[in-house]
Structure 1
Amino acid sequence: MLNNYLKIALRNLLRNKVYSLINILGLAVGLTCAILLFLYIQDELNYDNYHKDAAQVFRLEQKVRKADQEETSVYFKADLIPNLKRALPEIEQATRLLYSTSSLRAGKREKIFSRDVYYADPSIFQILTYQPIVGDLQTAFAQPNSIVLTRELANRLYNTPKLALGQPLSLNDDFTLTVTAVIEDVPVNSHLRPKALVDLSVFAKASPEAFKNYPMFSTYVKLAKNASPNALVKKMPAVFKKYNKGPWFKGATVDFQLSAIHHIYLNTPLKRDHGSHGDRKLVYIFMAVALLIVLVACINYMNLATARSIERAKEVGIRKVVGSHRSQLIKQFIVEAISLSLLALVISICLVELMLPFFNQLSDKQLTINYISQPLVIPALVGLAIFIGLLSGSYPALVLSAFKPVLVLKGKFSRSRKGANTRRSLVVFQFSVSIIMVICTWAVYQQMQYIRQKKLGFNQEQLYKVTFHDPRDGKKYNTIKQQLLQFPGITKVTNTSLRMEEWYGDEMSSTEEVTLENGNRTKSEVSYYLVTPDFFETMGVPIVKGRNLDTKRASDYTKSIIVNEAFVRKYRWKNPIGKQVGNARVVGVMKDFHTKSLYQTIQPFVMSLGEKSLEEYNIKKYFFMRLHPKNIDQSIAHIEKIWTAYNLKTQFNGQFLDQQFAKAYEADQRRGQIFLIFSLLTIFIAELGLFGLASFNALQRTKEIGIRKVLGASIQQILLLLSRDFVRLVLISSIIAFPIAYYFMDQWLQGFAYRTPIHWSTFVLAGLVTLLIALLTVSFQSVRTARVNPVEVLKNE
């Protein structure tokens, strides 16, 4: 019986080549989109799942409410973790991690700089899974001054992992470490990707005060198998209160939370969070897009199959007369749909292979699909194709198998109004999806344009930034500044603790008493940055009230501050000059400017010189230089030359600030491009189905059009007649799509602190674009039908 169904399916496929091609092409493109999006979604959802005991591994986080501020951070003091582990038996293992940028040198080779060197406890190898190449990870930190390298760094430093084992390695020109193991490079689908792991005791010896007193360590714990994370965090505050003796959280309420390691990547980035992050909302959006694309492709098949019901009515009638049951007819039509879907799958697999390199470049991923080493891939794809065949073939099968043979064979059968209305409803769904995706794509483009054009409150032009990382470089800052200013291509130079980068936690903060307008004082958490007086002129940030800081006034180092306009608004000051913040007084107000991307609002903060004794330390480590536009290349070369001459211990890392800000939006721009491509493909699939439907509709009305032409109808009138129904459907689709698109775009734009308004013209434009494409699609076939000679059509009547 199945062979018979397949033979009939093949005959129908060959007999109706145009409609078969439309269906196969639509399903193939739909499957290709779904497979690519599934690979993307699977990669996003599988971050950190490769760890052996991932279900038991969590990152410790804290929510601190202090004065009038609340923040969630991943940083803790070093002594908290041993105390927690000792007091809470549910914690099986715990490790502290400290991120650093370090220089590494093997023998007399060239120094290598890495931004991803982590100090860690030996227990890290019992918590996180790393694949050893050489060496034993269980004893890797058994000896002092030990370091574990990844394959990439081992190859760069020693040519091969085997040659690296047991060799000495200089860290920051301070410590000689021993390479005790080499691991495979950490998989790309990990939120933490260290290039090297150093025994934490090395940092404890190098900076004992910082190790003991400062909250600077992120913490990962492995819980016992039956331990409850929710029950555990309720016990932590008591332990914290017992052992916390430092000033960092004095007067604060601290709550703990545990984030499962495989959830961290898609969670909202926290303060001082160095790991990479995705977007959970985007994953859900792409899931919806994949489903909608498949539905649009299935609707094409449904519409064309039911529209051609008259052509197959006699076939159904004859089969019923000779004894076919309705269930047999349903099976036949379902087999036809599944056969088309499987043919489309073969084509889509070829398209996926062709498109995957481009999609990887667009999404900045390394997605692969292996049909041999991953045995479930082929069954999953075949299952998907069969499901799509069942989905798209079920409705036409039910409609066609319900025909009454008596009416069909007497020629009294005609298309039902109910069937026509169902097809119209499905077309409305397709158009609605297309319009929603056009609106969303345009809104993303407008927001990206808005971000590029919005003024940030400082002059970005030719502003060059260099970062120092080694504490000892701070002693050379003043000399370096003078050397830089002697070059004619460098007009201004300043150094500050302000990072001007999309990073959470570069500001310092303390609880201070702030004078209100009525003279009362209130305790508040105050964020501050250290600057030099030339900061405001170099950055192009005007001081709108009061004066600048002055290094010639001894009191300005500890008793004077400049606040931004957001700070003035927060405390509702009418006359901010002279107001007291802690022990310092406000001497000036600077104009608001953005220190981070437009994802965040401008926060209230203050700027000060800081204590004079701090000048030799690596606090004001971010150098900003205003370059002359005619000597940019020469100026950068001069900056590098000075860097080399002073034998600075950090890698040269200069970049223009406008380019740095642009990088903050690269992920959204990539996602916008992905969304644009899949929007266009959705429209293509929908218009493909519309073309087939319009072609069949014109074919069915050929005689009617012939009669109208004989009676004097013009080509324009016939075009209007054939297009009128589709125009009405686009208008109905627009009414449905507009509020849905508005909701989704409003939700997406909530992620930006500063966003472009959603203008009515976006919706009108989307509707007009969809209408224009639909008219062009319908008109192509309608013009051919309208130009047919009526004599040829009516000569047999």
Structure 2
Amino acid sequence: MFKNYLKTAYRTLKKNVGFTAINVFGLALGLATCMLIVFYVVDELSYDKYNIKADRIYRANMQIKFGGIDQKYASSPAPLSAAFQNDYPEVERTCRLLQRGGYNVKKGNQIIHENKVILADSTLFDVFTLPMVAGDPKKALVEPKTVVLTETTAKRYFNTTQAVGKTLTLGENGLYKVTGVIKDMPKQSHFNYDFILSMTTTQESKENAWFSNNFNTYVLLKPGTDIKKFEAKMPGLMRKNAGPQLQSILHLTFDKFEADGNKYQLSLMPLLDIHLKSNLVSELDHNGDIQYVYIFSAVAIFILLIACVNFMNLSTARSANRAREVGVRKVLGSQRKYLVAQFLSESMMVTFVATLMAFAAAYFLLPLFNNIAGKSIELSTASFVWLVPALLVTVLVIGFLAGWYPALFLSGFQPIEVLKGKLSAGFKGGLLRSSLVVFQFFVSIVLIIGTLVIYNQLKYIQNKDLGYSRNQVLVVHGVYNLGEQSKVFRDEVKQLPGVTGVTMTGFLPTSDYRNSSSVFQERSLDPKKAVLAQTWTVDDKYLPTLDIKLTKGRNFSDQMPTDSAAMIINETAARLMGVRDPLNKSMFLPMDNMAKTFKEYHIIGVIKDFNFNSLEYNITPIMLMYGQDTGSLSVKMNTANITSLMALIKDKWKSIQPGREFEYSFMDDDFDASYRKEQRMGTIFIIFSSLTIIIACLGLFGLAAYAAEQRTKEIGIRKVLGANVANIVGMLSKDFIKLVFIAIVIAIPVSWFFMHKWLQGFAYRQNIQWWVIALAAVSAVLIAFATISFQSIRAALANPVRSLKNE
């Protein structure tokens, strides 16, 4: 019986090649798109799950509200780890990670700058699952100046993974002994490093400084620990440990500190939430966003539904063509359940073929998708363990969902009505079919509006006046490696033709190099007169090179020795100070964690606010101090031949340090990199939206073809009576266009609500413009009309004699 169903289904589908092709291609396109989205979502949700104890690992986050600023940090104080371990029996282990930027690593006569370097406690391997291929994990990071490498790194430097006992020269600290080699960290990790240095190497890890938040602290709780009860102890932990230092520094009790509206709060974040739900200051890497997972999951579901809708629409639209078949089958004794099984077998066959095509398409498109999404998704043997059953379930579920209504609809025809020719056919009267068309275009219009809003916001970000100039600014990294020769390098670059400005500092609007400090207006360090600000060390060429505008006062000058105690602040800092004119006012900057010593600065200028953080955040206070910082050299260029000028700069570098690599970037590229996630998501959104519209148009194309077919006799009569092509096209199109207008009315408020919510994630954003809505609506109408017109014009141009003769 089943074999007969398949044979009959094959013959029927082969007989209606056009119908079958539209269904198979539409379903395949929808399923391929869904598979790519599923691969993306699974990859995003799999971060940090490689850790065996992942469900018991938490990261300590800090919220600091002080000096007019309220910020959340992924970092915490150095002594927090010991406090957890010593005072709380619920804690099994703790581990700290400390970022210290890149290191220069010597390999023969070559010096390589490595960025993926981090310091870690020796308990790292007790908390995280990082299998070691050589060495003892319990001893690997115990002693100072020891390092653990990944397999790939060990092979790169020693041509073997058996590198334990060998030495590496890192940075200015000399030799490090290799005490372990671990497997490469999984790509689905919220941190990924090649060099892990022992935490005991740095003195900072031993300091009892409760108000210096530089460490990423992780807590492994014992099995069965109630996290809510444990978190309830956090305020007491901060009062007990940070309270005495607060009293010593600011002469305030912790209760009084909080009563004044300030916060210094500790919270715990589950390890598995970090990648998608954390975007705090001091993250170890650029995380994802759970909103995009929700959005793309919804898009996948909608695309799948639209593909199913196409199948249902086209199958029911062909009711007249299948009606006589059903009538004859019923007269010959066929029961309805067998007819349902027949139609479902056709649906299953279409779905099976479409699924095979979709998998092949997704497999071959995966590298392109990885490139667009910035992913490295691979289909391994483990992937097929869940993928093959998922595809089989997909065939059954999609085949049933797409075929159940057509099966019930077609099998329900009464044979007497059918054989008498009383069955009404065509597009009119199909309420469900019309509703499904509305749904298709509702989704399409929502995606069009979403695409336009995302594109508009990204364009706004790229073109917004940030308060500084980033065009044609070359940033040479690691200038500190030149030592005393850094000034020579700066001066020689300054003399090159085409160079209009040079400034030497690592504190740049587009870098991650930051320094946050509490600065006070009074010598008594009154917290009510404090400003939590970025404190950057810059030279006198910083403002002119980056074209940052002064609104009051003057710039630093190398001709004025007193400028070593001078300060330039931004407008936000001036506003938070609460003074009418901040010029010549004094500010006091603590010089150590306990504020036992501080330095007095006098304000000589106020600069216009500039965006040195992501546009997701408001501008915060910044205070510039005059001094030397050799983090990097920024070169403002004005030349038509950038390549030639860069070659000259590189030659200057090589002449001073021939063994060190020349690392550089352009400031506008660094800025764009800050929004790479949004740009990638915008590109993916555009692609998925386009595919959704194509799938919807495939269904509409098929419907228009069958609507024209059902009204062949009417079209012939109208043409004989004098109707022209425009009249026929208008007649056939108006029913569809009405549905598109209904979809527009429903889609506009829905899309506005969701895109308005998405825009709230940016402190600086462009509101949804009226033309975005108008353009989306017009585009939907034009797309629908163009799809329908092809079939309508073809029907209108047909010879009426032939259609009337056939009737």
TM exceeds 0.5? yes
Q: Which residue of 1 aligns with 2:180?
A: 181
Deviations 1:123-161 (CA, angstroms, capped at 9, x unpaired): 101111123232332332355532111122112211221
Q: Which residue of 1 aligns with 2:227?
A: 229
Q: Distance in 2 between matches of 1:377 and 1:363?
A: 21
Tell me if structure 2 keeps the 8 A contact 1:513–1:521: no
Find the counterpart in structure 2 of residue 27 from structure 1.
27
Aligned counterpart, 1:742? 752
Instruction: Give the aligned residue type for 2:326.
Output: V
Check whether the contact 1:172–1:649 (CA below 8 A) recurs between aligned residues.
no
Q: 1:526 to 1:70 in 2, by over 3 A?
A: same
Q: What SS does the corresponding residue of 1:319 show, helix, strand or coil?
A: helix
User: Residues 173 and 474 (structure 1 numbering): CA distance in 2 closer, same or farther, change over 3 Å?
Assistant: closer
Q: Which moved more, 1:88-97 or 1:362-371?
A: 362-371
Equivalence for 1:590: 607
Runs of 4+ in 1 over 6 A off after TM superposition: 207-213
Contact 2:79 2:206 survives alignment (8 Å): no
Provide the residue aligned with 2:596 in structure 1. none
Residues 771-782 of structure 1 mapped to structure 2, 5 A cutoff: 771-782=781-792
Q: 1:535 aligned to 2:535?
A: no
Of 372-381 and 568-577, deviating more is: 568-577
| Greater shift in the superposed pair: 742-751 or 520-529 | 520-529
Instruction: Tell me whether 520-529 or 185-194 shows the greater mean CA deviation.
Output: 520-529
* Cα distance change, pair 102–208 in 1 and its aligned pair in 2 (3 A): farther
1:335 to 331, 342, 345: 345
Q: Report if the CA contact (8 A) 2:457-2:766 is conserved.
A: yes
Change (3 A) 1:372 1:214: closer
Letter paired with 1:513: Q
CA distance in 1, matches of 2:211, 2:441: 62
Classify the secondary structure of the residue corresponding to 2:517. Answer: strand
Give 2:423's aligned residue.
413
CA contact (8 A) 2:570 2:622 kept: yes
1:65 and 2:65 aligned: yes
Return the alpha-carbon distance in structure 1 between the equivalents of residues 240 and 202 of structure 2: 26
Aligned runs of 1:380-459 on 2, under 5 Å? Answer: 380-415=390-425, 420-459=430-469
Change (3 A) 1:177 1:577: closer
Matches within 5 A, 1:65-144: 65-103=65-103, 105=105, 108-144=108-144
1:318-359 Cα offsets, whole Å, 9 max, x none, are 333444443333333222212211111111111112211111
Provide TM-score, normalisation by structure 2: 0.90
| Cα pair distance change 1:83/1:648, threshold 3 Å | farther
Letter in 1 for 2:196: L
Whole-angstrom CA distance in 1 between matches of 2:561 and 2:383:
71
Q: Is the 8 A contact 2:61 2:74 kept in 1?
A: yes
AA matched with 2:613: K
Tell me the distance in 2 between the aligned counterparts of 1:186 and 1:569.
46
Per the alignment, do residues 157 and 417 of structure 1 end up closer, same or farther by CA in structure 2, a change over 3 Å counting?
closer
Instruction: Give the secondary-structure state (helix, strand or coil) at the position aligned to 2:430.
Output: helix
Residue 772 of structure 1: how far off its partner (Å): 1.8
SS class of match (1:265):
helix
Question: Which amino acid in the other structure matches residue 270 of structure 1?
Answer: L
C-alpha separation between the residues in 2 aligned to 1:703 and 1:746? 50
Cα separation, partners in 2 of 1:171 and 1:283, compared to 1, 3 Å: same
Matched ranges for 1:155-170 at <5 A: 155-162=155-162, 164-170=163-169
Cα distance in 1 for partners of 2:71, 2:613 equals 17
Please tell me the residue identity of whatever aligns with 2:366.
L
2:400 maps to a residue whose letter is L
Q: Give 1:36's aligned residue.
A: 36
Match of 2:709 among 682, 690, 699: 699
Contact 1:101 1:113 in 2 (8 A): no
| Conserved 8 A contact 2:479-2:630 | no
The SS at the match of 1:448 is helix
- For 1:510 and 1:143, the matched residues in 2 are separated by 34
- Aligned ranges 1:235-384 → 2 under 5 Å: 235-244=233-242, 246=245, 251=257, 253-370=263-380, 374-384=384-394
The equivalent position to 2:515 in structure 1, one of 503, 507, 511, is 507
Q: 1:452 and 1:143 mapped to 2: Cα distance? A: 48
Q: Which residue does the alignment assign to 1:636?
A: 646
Q: 1:491 aligns with which of 497, 500, 522?
A: 500
- Tell me whether 136-145 or 759-768 shows the greater mean CA deviation: 136-145
Deviations 1:491-524 (A, max 9, x none): 3222345232263x71322142389xxxx97444
Residue number among 544, 548, 555 corresponding to 2:551 in the alignment: 544
Instruction: Kindly state the Cα deviation for residue 535 of structure 1 after the two structures are TM-superposed.
Output: 1.7
Q: Does 1:627 align with 2:637?
A: yes
Distance 1:224-1:104 versus aligned 2 partners, 3 A rule: same
CA distance in 2, matches of 1:662, 1:102: 21
2:726 is the alignment partner of 1:728? no
Q: Is the 8 A contact 1:437 1:679 kept in 2?
A: yes
1:172 corresponds in structure 2 to 171
- In 2, are the aligned partners of 1:80 and 1:240 still within 8 Å (CA)? no
**CA distance in structure 2 between the aligned counterparts of 1:630 and 1:101, rounded to whole angstroms:** 34
Counterpart code for 1:544 = T
CA distance in 2, matches of 1:142, 1:485: 47
Conserved 8 A contact 1:99-1:116: no
Distance 1:259 1:412, change over 3 A: same
For the pair 1:601 / 2:609, whether they are aligned, the reply is: no
**Equivalent position amino acid for 1:668 in 2:** E
Q: Kindly provide the amino acid, as one letter, of the partner of residue 737 in structure 1.
A: A
So what's the TM-score if we normalise by structure 1? 0.91
Moved more, 753-762 or 371-380: 371-380
Q: Pick from 481, 491, 498: which aligns with 2:490?
A: 481
Cα deviations across residues 284-333 of structure 1 (Å, max 9, x unaligned)?
00001100100110011111111111222233233334444433333332
User: Contact 2:148/2:197 (CA < 8 Å) preserved in 1?
Assistant: yes
Equivalent position of 1:565 in the other structure = 571
Unaligned segments of structure 2, at least 5 residues: 251-256, 589-599
Q: Which residue of 1 aligns with 2:777?
A: 767
1:158–1:529 distance in 2 versus 1, CA, 3 Å:
same
Q: Check conservation: 2:552, 2:605, Cα contact below 8 A.
A: yes
Q: CA deviation at 1:480?
A: 4.3
CA contact (8 A) 1:153 1:195 kept: yes
Query: Is the contact made by 2:446 and 2:750 (CA closer than 8 Å) also made in structure 1?
Result: yes
Amino acid of the structure 1 residue aligned with 2:572? A
1:660 Cα offset (Å) = 1.1
SS in 2 for 1:602: coil
Relative to structure 1, the CA distance from residue 462 to residue 787 in structure 2 (aligned partners, 3 Å threshold; closer, same or farther) is closer
Q: Deviations over 1:49-89 (max 9, x none)?
A: 11111111111112122243222213233222112201011
- What do you get for the CA RMSD once the two structures are aligned? 2.9
* Distance in 1 of aligned mates of 2:471 and 2:748: 40
Shift of 1:394: 1.6
Structure 1 stretches of 5 or more lacking a match? none
Residues of 1 paired with 2:773 and 2:287: CA distance? Answer: 32
Partner of 1:56: 56
Structure 2 Cα separation of the partners of residues 750 and 663 of structure 1: 21
Deviation of residue 453 (structure 1)? 2.0
Provide the rounded CA distance (Å) in 1 between the counterparts of 2:68 and 2:97.
30
Contact 1:514–1:524, Cα closer than 8 Å, also in 2: no
Mapped contact 1:103–1:649 kept (Cα < 8 A): no
Shift of 1:427: 0.6
